[in-house]
Chain A
C-alpha cells in the first residue's frame, strides 16, 4: 500500500500530534487550539499549515473564525500501514510454528526410539 511519507513526517512533530489528538473531539477554532496547547500564534499557524498541506486537517471558516477539523482518510491509511509491524511478527511466528512442529515430531521419534 502506498503511504505518503509527508503524512508521517507531519505527525513526527510532538505539537502536531497534540493538535491531531485535540481535534479528535471535534473541530476547533485556531485560537482555541493555540490556547489549549500553549503555542505561540506563529507556531500554531505553521503546524496547522503543515497538517493541512498533507491533508490531515481541513479548515472551514465559521463566522469570523477559522475552524480546523480532522480528516479520517490519511489516518486510516496510516493505521493500516503501521499495522504491518504486527504482520512482521505474525509472519515470523508462522515460520516459527513450522519449526516447532518439526522439533516436536523429532522429539516424539526420539522418545519412541528409546522405548524400543
Chain B
C-alpha cells in the first residue's frame, strides 16, 4: 500500500493520504484534543467556516448549512466567486457524537459522477484524537476525478500510481 507522509518531527501531527482500494481514499491525522472537541469543529457550521476552505488556494466557504441528524442534509458553498460557487452537499447517514459520522457527499458541478460516502471516525486516546476520513467513491474514475477536481482541473492519475512510478525510477 502506498502512503504519502509529511512531518519529520514527532512534535507535528502528520497527515497521511492513502489509496486504500480502487475506489477508497483515506486521510488520517491526529489532533491534540479530546474527540468531542474535534467532532464539534467538524460539525458546527460557525467553526467549519473557519477551517474548511484552504486559504492558500484563495478560496473561502461562503455558505455552510448543516442539519446534523440522521437523514439531515448539509451544503457547503465555496470558491473564489460567491456568485459562482463550488457546492458540496449531502445527507447524514450516521451521527454518533463524538466518535463517528457517516455522510454522503455530492460535488454538484460533477453530479454525474455520483455520491461519495464519507466515514469519519474520531478515536480518542490519552487526550488526543485520531481522525480517519475514509472516502468511498462510486467508482475508480470518480476517485481519480476527485483528486483532479479537488482544486485543480484535468488531473487523471492517482497519487499511489505516481508514488510507485516515481519510487521505481530513483
A residues with CB within 8 A of B: 5, 8-9, 11-12, 17, 20-21, 24, 70, 72, 75-76, 78-79, 81-93, 95-101, 103-104, 107
Contacts and interface: CB of A to CB of B under 8 A. Distances in A.
A84 B157 contact: no
A17 B47 contact: no
Interface stretch (B49-57, B87-95, B101-109, B113-121): B49-57
B165 A88 contact: no
Contact of B4 (A9, A76, A83, A103): A83
Categorize the interface residue count of chain B.
Answer: 35 or more
Interface of B: 4, 6, 13, 15, 17, 27, 29, 31-34, 37-38, 40-41, 47, 50-52, 54-57, 147-148, 150-159, 161-166, 168-169
A79 B166 contact: yes
18 contacts: A12-B156, A24-B169, A70-B165, A78-B157, A79-B165, A81-B155, A82-B158, A82-B162, A85-B17, A88-B54, A89-B17, A90-B15, A95-B50, A97-B32, A99-B47, A100-B32, A100-B38, A104-B33
A24 B165 contact: yes
B41 A99 contact: yes
B54 A91 contact: yes
A12 B157 contact: yes
B99 to A, nearest CB: 16
